[in-house]
Structure 1
Amino acid sequence: MKLTIIGGAGVRTLGFVRKLIEQHALLPIRVLHIQDISQTRLATIGSMIAETARRGNAPFEVELTTDVAEAVRGAAFVYFAIREGGDAGRVIDERVPLCYGILGQETIGPGGFAMALRTIPVLLRYARIIEREAPDAWVVNFTNPASMITEALHRHSGIRAIGICDAPSSLKLDIARYLKAAPDDIAIRYFGLNHLGWIDAIRLDGRERLDDLIDRYEAFVAASPHMACFSPERIRALRLIPNEYLYYYYSPEEATRHILGGTRTRGQQIEALNRQLIDRLQEELGKGRMDAAFEAFAAVMKERQISYMQLESGQAASAAAPDGISAARPDSAAAGGSNERPDLSTGSGANNGWNRASGESNVEAGPGMEAAIYENEGYAGLALAVITAIHGDRPTELIVNVPNRGTLAGLEDDDIVEVACLVDRGGPRPLPLGPVPEPAMRLIRQVKHYERLTVQAAATGCYETALAALASHPLVPSDDLAERMLNDYIREHGDSLAYFTERGS
């Protein structure tokens, strides 16, 4: 069996490969094909992947290529983890709205909009290649913005695609830690869209515990510091536990103020870290010091995790950078998977929209539980949980991004939602969810309307549709600002958005 990673020279692939080696008994991959458009990164990260496979006595071959058709030919599973435009593209995505005092974040608001417009046409081209070279393959999408990417693949291609994000799983593990419970003893009900989800019920030992956590939210934050972006007062008013990305919707002015108060955006932080990392890896590998390369890699990944959401939430100041954020328009010279949450996790086991956390990966699993273990290992574990459930026909309950099919009332059947599903050889099937709180549904409907328009714009190249999409986003205050930002993006991204023509040009 062949597994292909598109965009595989990113920094997160090493963790994926380690997990694949550990779980090979359940997922007998014979060929792991790594594709990336950057020959430099492919050679650098590829050599470390090959060494990881050698040290782990991997029972599969590792092949490297820049050619998508070669990579996917005959694959049973294809994993999308690309960043179209690279880190420089992310910097533009975030800086353009900040020039107008609007939130700049890579998946939320205008930043996510620009990322979708750059990325969807590329992945639709890849989808055509998969249709030809691997028509029976399952595609697991980790490329952001995951909801819109997965929706584009469903609406505008014939491939079988499932979107994944490890944020819901990580939130479940945070709750299990706080409750001092074995992860598989708690169950949560999670619903929403990617980066727009909530928990509205928690069960432990037959008791509802959501109110306990909300009423003692300060103690929960002490165990999960990144959740300090929400004040206890807000959580008690909501009576829900939101995905951390809801911070950008609930407190956009605060997040923007914190970002503008730093000396660089998160995208600039990551661009600098990745550039330094690749340079260091090339230096160490050029001297034959593989162990030193692995140590440098681990240090940078730790720094990324520690600094996650620190700037945006005001919990820490940004590190110094040579170029700060200006309130002026960006000048025309402004220049890998994108979720950055630490690899924390929980597992599976859902009924009627509930998802139950799994045990740690070294716990002996009973019959039928093997795939559930994977979700306890962050994004790599979740991806492998999906793949193993399908390949081995092991029914497993996982929170993934799939067509709605009536799960959330008021949305179209083909709208991509993030909910608990039963995954087996037939793919994912959403579990019945029932009514959800109306305040959450109002925001879901508004954001989904924006997502539908953005997908349509990316698939057709229609400027007017793109403008309508951006103007409809709840974080964009006016049509005038939407048009100015769209025109800036078209100019700044050059070839990536050349399929649009700026109005008036």
Structure 2
Amino acid sequence: MTNGLKITVIGGGSSYTPELIEGFIIRANELPVEEIHLVDIEEGKVKLNVIYELTKRMIKKAGLKTQIFQTLDRKKAIENSDFVVTQIRVGGLQSRAKDEKIPLKYDVIGQETTGAGGFAKAMRTIPVILEICREIEELAPNAWLINFTNPVSIITEMVLKHTKVKTMGLCNVPIGMINNIAKILGYESNRLKIDFVGLNHMVYGKKVYLDGEEITKDVLTKLAEGGSVTMKNIPDLVWDRDFIYALGLIPCPYHRYFYMTDEMLEDEKKALAEKGTRAEQVMKIEAALFELYKKVELEEKPKELEERGGAYYSDAAVSLISAIYNDKGEVHTVNIHNNGGIMGLPEDVVVEVNAVIGRAGAKPIASGKLPTQINGLLQAVKSYELLTVEAGLRGDYNTALMALMANPLVPSIKVAKKILDDILRENVDYLPQFNKRNLI
């Protein structure tokens, strides 16, 4: 056991890792990180080595004594860890491209975390995260798992329901919304606070405060006038003015898939024809990023990383780790058990809400009943998530079919069955929980 903190990053060869390392560097005075272990799989060995070398240069430039390790031995890296960060993509970007293309064949939204594409990603990811959790239970039972792996809500739900691992799910959408709203209003982001309520990639800003004074109406007006609150990976389609005033809440970028489905579908189909899926675009961005990362003169996170849609990751992830370690009692937006955070949802389901963070974990801040205008959609998506967890664990076709049918973006049984059959066929090598005889 080290004297300082041992951090293990599973998916260490990810292009996002420099964001995370930057976060530890910025907070070195409050987080005594002695070791960072970057873990990946055989297929990711080349990228892992590039990240490892860049990380060493970043740490050296910062004048820190933190030791950096790279390994394909996950168990050795997990052993005695204080924090484990998961940022994996089972099947890589090639599988993501399939997740996006399969639904589009049937005129259904194809997106990596939302709808049928997110379902496919969950099916591949659940068995791997479960295996990681079993290793944490055995080798680092006191460690906190900070999960950044999508679909965050579904993965966090699975971990909290079916393992003993202490975990919080994390997303950069809330902090991105704060920063983008601050930019629209012309204020520094640290002056803004938002009461977040909902689910991951389905979260709403209930109230917005500037220096403690509520300014929600001002923000709604800006959005109604065309103000942009989106992300690099989501088309910046303008919200309908009347809808924004009728909603009375701040939607997150992913809500476009549910409230502007026809327009988003057309945009996806056009993009597919002209420049490929988002996954295929990201492959090019990643290739360029790794060429940058290889340059020995590069000693910091390049600005180009923001094109990946991972901006603000370090702020979200490392500030959360610091809040836990230092028992800060800070408010963060996290994915945790409801426990009274939202009236009308079961206590034991995972929600994305503001919570007070300390050494003992997260205490959700009660937000009351869901407004009627969003209650139905959130209930439907949560039902989809619960069914997806069970399908991903048990490999049951019927449960998987009902999970897709519960998702508001899947239009009919006929379409759901076609999409499900394609998903199972295309992912046969990544779905040990399903009976392979039925998939080939």
Normalised by the length of structure 1, the TM-score is 0.80
| Corresponding residue of 1:271 | 283
Aligned partner of 1:251: which letter? Answer: M
Alignment of 1:160-175 (within 5 A): 160-175=166-181
Provide closer, same or farther for how the CA distance between residues 179 and 274 of structure 1 changes in structure 2, counting only shifts above 3 A: closer
Rounded to whole Å, the distance in 2 between the matches of 1:206 and 1:431 is 17
The DSSP-based 3-state class of the residue aligned with 1:436 is coil
Rounded to whole Å, the distance in 2 between the matches of 1:223 and 1:494 is 37
Aligned partner of 2:196: which letter? Answer: Y
- RMSD after superposition: 2.2
| Corresponding residue of 2:185 | 179
| Corresponding residue of 1:243 | 252
Picking from 10, 18, 21, the partner of 2:14 is: 10
Aligned partner of 1:17: which letter? Answer: I
Tell me the CA shift for residue 422 of structure 1: 0.4
Contact 2:230/2:253 (CA < 8 Å) preserved in 1? Answer: no
Contact 1:72/1:130 (CA < 8 Å) preserved in 2? Answer: yes
Matched, 1:62 2:42: no
Q: C-alpha offsets along residues 480-499 of structure 1, whole Å, 9 cap, x if unaligned?
A: 21111111111111210243
Contact 1:421/1:428 (CA < 8 Å) preserved in 2? Answer: yes
Rounded to whole Å, the distance in 1 between the matches of 2:115 and 2:219 is 30
Q: What 5-or-longer segments of structure 2 have no aligned partner?
A: none
The DSSP-based 3-state class of the residue aligned with 1:290 is coil
The DSSP-based 3-state class of the residue aligned with 1:440 is helix
Aligned partner of 1:268: which letter? Answer: E
Rounded to whole Å, the distance in 1 between the matches of 2:139 and 2:251 is 41
Q: Give the paired residue count.
A: 427
Tell me the CA shift for residue 144 of structure 1: 0.4
Rounded to whole Å, the distance in 2 between the matches of 1:41 and 1:157 is 30
The DSSP-based 3-state class of the residue aligned with 1:241 is coil
Provide closer, same or farther for how the CA distance between residues 294 and 255 of structure 1 changes in structure 2, counting only shifts above 3 A: farther
Rounded to whole Å, the distance in 2 between the matches of 1:481 and 1:221 is 35
Matched, 1:82 2:88: yes
Higher mean alpha-carbon deviation, 107-116 vs 269-278, is at: 269-278
Alignment of 1:145-294 (within 5 A): 145-204=151-210, 207-217=213-223, 221=227, 228-262=237-271, 263=274, 264-278=276-290, 280=291, 285=294, 289-291=295-297
The DSSP-based 3-state class of the residue aligned with 2:142 is coil
| Corresponding residue of 1:356 | none
Rounded to whole Å, the distance in 2 between the matches of 1:24 and 1:77 is 15
Rounded to whole Å, the distance in 2 between the matches of 1:117 and 1:6 is 19
| Corresponding residue of 1:473 | 407
Tell me the CA shift for residue 276 of structure 1: 4.7
The DSSP-based 3-state class of the residue aligned with 2:387 is helix
Tell me the CA shift for residue 120 of structure 1: 0.8
Aligned partner of 1:271: which letter? Answer: M
Alignment of 1:123-138 (within 5 A): 123-138=129-144
Q: C-alpha offsets along residues 186-218 of structure 1, whole Å, 9 cap, x if unaligned?
A: 332210000001112223356432222223435
Matched, 1:30 2:42: no
| Corresponding residue of 1:21 | 25
Rounded to whole Å, the distance in 2 between the matches of 1:220 and 1:20 is 36
Contact 2:228/2:238 (CA < 8 Å) preserved in 1? Answer: no
Rounded to whole Å, the distance in 2 between the matches of 1:255 and 1:223 is 16
Give the share of equivalent positions with the same residue, in percent.
Answer: 34
The DSSP-based 3-state class of the residue aligned with 1:171 is helix
Contact 1:177/1:223 (CA < 8 Å) preserved in 2? Answer: no
Contact 2:229/2:253 (CA < 8 Å) preserved in 1? Answer: no
